[in-house]
A = this chain, B = another copy of it.
Amino acid sequence: MVELNYEEVATLLRVLGNPTRVMIVKELSKGQRCVCDLENRLGISQANASQHLNILKVNNIVDCIRQGSSRCYYLKQPDFIKRLFELIKKKGV
């Protein structure tokens, strides 16, 4: 049985524990999005979106591919995210 590393678990949860990042991740669970999509749909600034996406990327939650002059961000483990949100939904926050 693999033991969990407290620091890593905490980091993962802390990274996901920001309302803007929750919005982003939720939006990405519907499909790939470029930065400007996220800006428009979520009503956040370009710089802010980019900063949060970077935090998510560094922490292996998302990744991106070039798509012409823009970048498409996507969840690296969409199943994990879906299950996580379902679990929280069931919990009743």
Contact = CB atoms under 8 A, between A and B. Distances in A.
Contact of A7 (B10, B12, B19, B80): B19
A47 interface: no
A71 interface: no
Given A83-B87, A87-B80, A87-B87, A10 B17 contact: yes
A61 to B, nearest CB: 10
Contacts of A93: 4-5, 8-9, 12
A10 B14 CA distance: 9
A11 B46 CA distance: 24
A42 B93 CA distance: 27
A30 interface: no
